[in-house]
Amino acid sequence: MILNFIFFHLNAIVLAIWVFFLIIVAIRFFKKSWVKNISLKKLAVIAVVLNITYGAFITWAQYYVWATGSAFSKSFINSPLPKEVPLSSVLEWTRSLFENKLGYFSYYVLGRFWLYIFILFAISFILYFLLKIWKKYRGGFRDDGPLLILILMLISGWPGILVFIPLGFIGSVLYLIISILMGRRVVEIEPVFIFVALIALVYGRLIIGLF
């Protein structure tokens, strides 16, 4: 069954999609004339949509697996959130939102899937605006540099972004120092972030697991 194949190979499929998308972004950066009709703004929108689409799909997949499983698993999509399940004092006001038929399911997918997508968006856009401010007052990036890095953060995903940010800035500083020592007067650090995005995308979880 096609669904079983997709579920079983979901991580590989998602990785292949993001790697393909990263290749398009890299082509847009290095060979702009090849894809001149694709702006970075369009790519940024696509990156956001892909993350939301992934969240929607795995939400549906979780519902499907529970709905077609045993009577026990079906109870997870037909039960409100038990009062015994703790919520932090900051989120206690949301408990009423989970006092319905899909209460437990909603709580589960929000905490298991969507929370990390929201965190990814928050970190990515906050850093994007900080880089825009830095570029305005201090320079150091191409005109589209901050937007490119935003796209790369969205590609890195969660938890890859936790690898992308420190590794990207460390790598760019080292690249800048080496380039200056080699006598280069004009240095672009954006290519470093493209390379780091690939590392974060493919090996992000493995690297974080080492710590």
Per residue in 140-183, pLDDT (tens digit) is: 677 788 999 999 999 999 999 999 999 999 999 898 888 888 87
Report the distance separating Cα 106 and Cα 63, nearest Å. Answer: 10
* In contact, 67 and 74? CB cutoff 8 Å: yes
Residue in 94, 110, 59, 102 with CA at minimum distance from that of residue 77: 102
Q: What is the pLDDT of residues 30-66, one digit of tens each?
A: 887 787 788 999 999 999 999 999 999 999 999 999 9
CB count within 10 Å of CB 91 equals 10
Chain-centroid distance of CA 55 in Å reads: 11
Rounded to two decimals, the pTM is: 0.91
Tokens of 129: 């605006």
Residue in 154, 68, 163, 66 with CA at minimum distance from that of residue 116: 154
* In contact, 52 and 117? CB cutoff 8 Å: yes
Extents of the domains making up the chain: 2-209
